[in-house]
Amino acid sequence: MRGGNLLVRNGLIVTSEAMFKADVKVVDGKIVSIGEGLSNEGVDEVIDAKGMLVLPGVVDEHVHMREPGLEFKDDFTHGTKAAALGGVTTVIEQPNTLPPVEDSNTLLAKAKLLEGKAFVDFALYGVLYDSNVHNFEDMISSGAVGFKVFLGPTTGNIPPPSTGSLYHILSLSAKHNVTIAFHAEDNDLVNYFTNKVRSEGRVDAKAHEDARPPICEELAVIKLATIAKRTGGHAHILHLSSKEAVEVIKEGKVRGVKLTGETCPHYLLLSNEDYVKYGTLMKVNPPIRGLTHQQALWEGIKEGVIETIGSDHAPHTVEEKKKSVWEASSGFIGVQTLLPLTLDAALKGKLQLTLLPKLLSENPAKLFKLWPRKGVINVGSDGDLVIVDPNEEFTITQEWLISKNPVTPFIGWKVRGRIKHTILRGVPIVRDGILQNVSQGSWLKAIF
Ligand code: DOR
Ligand code: ZN
């Protein structure tokens, strides 16, 4: 694996513990020293970061880059270019591609296919459902960093596992110390409410929210919390959207259950009041809800109940997004806007700045066994850095978004802070906001 030799001078380093002025020196792709007045001996390039913040490169634990099989929506080249421009140096790619990543052969084939195309480093999830749980160990030995289990209907139509399989999966999680990430919406309840709301003849965009009310998420999380408690397995609940689910996780944590949670910028920044404006563009699963839920998610972050923010980058074509409420695809792009939106929130005082490296880099890297190589600015870690100017304003535009289908509700949003440079293992892959033509991302296996 290639690595660069670089000195980043005079920046304000932001870690999960502190903010301090220092230089960071990277040799052969690894951080070799952090301190004031470091010499430039042995480096090929010096970046002056005076007046700028230096954060660990973002580890986005939740991206659907669509390759292989769904390239009409987007592909890995576009997705990882978008990541680089958004300050993301590692992506953890979801398994609902075609074929799904359901055994070690599909995992290895996917890794091989993506490796030549990656602009940032990447790791892979495997998927688990009723008939492939026996592949758990094989996929881990082949390099999966964790698994995804879909309890409710989603893109790819992966069947939800039985309660028995969930027990089996979380027992294996305990045995092998592997994090299982869940799409936690109860399938039966989603079907029940969807039929009910559809039979009322609703066609407004908000009908999607009512078709998947908070109890769908709450019940799924209660079930997982109970099984995690009894098995000792680790359930990581993705894209938390409701107050009720946050409460269940909070209670579980108090009782020592291995329960962690992720939310996404769209649940923190949009609410059901926005359906009128954005329509099906903001259709996503679980749905975006009311302001009380949004508030509970912010509280959950501040209290440490929610430990990560992922993007749930889920591209679809413009046509797929424009369909009627019941036909439109769920999800939208997000990897490029994850840091700009959360950085903006932090710079405007909605979130402590030192929480950003924790939520966006360190915790995801720890959950998926990439830490301490990834996720932190520490001697010995990879030289993955993102350098931002906190004083510049920046508008998210369609032109800036690198995607085959650059559609997201966040187009036109003004944010504070501009991503200047993204550094991957000591090599600038974005310089002064401009993507460099170097595809040198590598496949990362878990460090168990
Ligand atoms: O809305 C969603 N879309 N939620 C998910 O969890 C999956 C995603 C997708 O893959 O399209
Ligand atoms: Zn997702």
Helix axes 214-231, 243-254, angle to 10 degrees: 20
Indicate whether 284 and 340 sit together in one domain: yes
User: What CATH number is associated with residue 202?
Assistant: 3.20.20.140
Residue 91 and residue 47 share a domain? no
Q: Is residue 446 part of a domain?
A: no
In a domain, 393, yes or no: yes
Ligand 1: which of 64, 73, 185 to mutate, most ligand atoms within 8 Å of CB? Answer: 64
Do both 263 and 178 map to the same domain? yes
87 and 114 both lie in a single domain:
yes
CATH of the domain at 11: 2.30.40.10
Closest atom of ligand 1 relative to the 315 alpha carbon: 11
In the three-class reduction of DSSP (H, G, I as helix; E, B as strand; rest coil), residue 327 is classed as coil
pLDDT per position as a tens digit, 395-443: 999 999 999 999 999 999 999 999 999 999 999 999 999 999 887 899 9
> Do 50 and 61 fall into the same domain?
no
Shared-domain flag, residues 71 and 21 = no
AA identity, residue 309: I
Ligand nearest to the CA of 333: 1
447 CA → ligand 1 middle, Å: 28
109 & 150 share domain: yes
In a domain, 443, yes or no: no
Sign (positive or negative) of CA dihedral 165, 146, 402, 281: positive
Which atom of ligand 1 lies nearest, measured to the CA of 329? 11
223 and 179 in one domain?
yes
Tokens of 63: 């991206």
Reported pTM: 0.98
Q: Is residue 1 part of a domain?
A: no
- pLDDT value, residue 1: 60
The pick from 330, 333, 335 for probing ligand 1's pocket by mutation, whose C-beta has the most ligand atoms within 8 angstroms, reads 330
Q: How far is the CA of 63 from the centre of ligand 1 (A)?
A: 9
Q: Which ligand is located closest to the Cα atom of residue 331?
A: 1
The answer on 74 and 126 residing in a single domain is yes
Residues 23-60: tens digit of each pLDDT:
999 999 999 999 999 999 999 999 999 999 999 999 99
- Ligand 1 nearest atom to the CA of residue 285, by list position: 1
Q: How many domains does the chain have?
A: 2
Range of the domain at 50: 6-54+380-397+412-435
Q: For ligand 1, which residues put their CB under 6 angstroms from it?
A: 64, 96, 154-155, 183, 284-285, 312, 314, 330-331
CA of 117 to the centre of ligand 1 (A): 23
Ligand nearest to the CA of 310: 2
314 and 421 part of one domain:
no
Average pLDDT, the chain: 97
163 and 240 in one domain?
yes
Domain annotation covers residue 190? yes
Q: Are residues 215 and 276 in the same domain?
A: yes
Taking the CA of residue 284 as reference, the ligand 1 atom at the shortest distance is 1
In a domain, residue 448? The reply is no
User: How many degrees, rounded to 5, is the angle at CA 380 between CA 379 and CA 383?
Assistant: 85
Residue 423 has, within 13 A of its CA and on its CB side, a CA count of: 33
Annotate 27-64 with DSSP letters as a single string. ETTEEEEEETT---TT-SEEEE-TT-EEEEPEEEEEE-
Spatial neighbors of 95 by CB under 8 A, at least 6 apart, are 101, 102, 124, 125, 126, 127, 147, 148
Answer whether residue 212 is part of any domain.
yes
pLDDT tens, per residue, the chain with 448 residues: 679 999 999 999 999 999 999 999 999 999 999 999 999 999 999 999 999 999 999 999 999 999 999 999 999 999 999 999 999 999 999 999 999 999 999 999 999 999 999 999 999 999 999 999 999 999 999 999 999 999 987 777 888 999 999 999 999 999 999 999 999 999 999 999 999 999 999 999 999 999 999 999 999 999 999 999 999 999 999 999 999 999 999 999 999 999 999 999 999 999 999 999 999 999 999 999 999 999 999 999 999 999 999 999 999 999 999 999 999 999 999 999 999 999 999 999 999 999 999 999 999 999 999 999 999 999 999 999 999 999 999 999 999 999 999 999 999 999 999 999 999 999 999 999 999 988 789 999 987 7
Mutation test of ligand 1: which of 73, 98, 125, 154 has the most ligand atoms closer than 8 Å to its C-beta?
Answer: 154
Would you call 182 helix, strand, or coil by DSSP?
Answer: strand
Map residue 151 onto helix, strand or coil: coil
Residue 318 lies in a domain: yes
Length of the chain: 448
